[in-house]
Amino acid sequence: MPYSLVLNLRPVAPIPSQFLTGRHLHALFLNLVSAVDTDLSAYLHDQSQEKAFTLSPFQVRTKEPYKSSTPQPQKRVLPPASRTISQAVQWEHKQAIQENTPIWWRISLLDDGLFDRLTQLWQQLNFESPWHLGPTNIYITNILSEPQSNQPWVNFCTYAELFERASETERQIAFTFCTPTNFRQGVYDSAMPTRESIFGSLANRWNKYSRIAIEPTFTEAIFPSFFDIRTEVSTDSRSKFIGCVGDISYRIMGDIAPATIKQINTLADFALYSGVGRKTPMGMGMTRRLQDF
- State the virtual CA torsion across 166, 167, 171, 174 in degrees, nearest 10: -40
Q: Which of 286, 194, 182, 288 is nearest to 239 (CA)?
A: 182
For the stretch 245-263, pLDDT in tens is 999 999 999 999 999 999 9
> Residue 205 carries which side chain, given as an amino acid letter?
R
CA 102/CA 139 separation, integer angstroms: 10
To the nearest whole number, what is the mean pLDDT of the chain?
A: 86
Strands (E), 16-133: 53-55, 59-60, 103-109, 131-133
| pLDDT tens-digit map of 112-171 | 877 777 777 777 777 888 999 999 999 999 999 888 888 899 999 999 999 999 999 999
Stretch (H or E) spanning 266: helix 258-274
Strands (E), 121-239: 131-133, 136-144, 155-156, 172-181, 183-185, 188-190, 222-235
Percent of the chain with pLDDT over 90: 63
Cα separation, 293 vs 281, whole angstroms:
28
At 79 the pLDDT is 34
| Angle (deg, nearest 10), helices 195-209 and 258-274 | 80
Residue 216 pLDDT > 70, yes or no? yes
Cα-flanking dihedrals φ and ψ of residue 246, to 5°? 125, -165
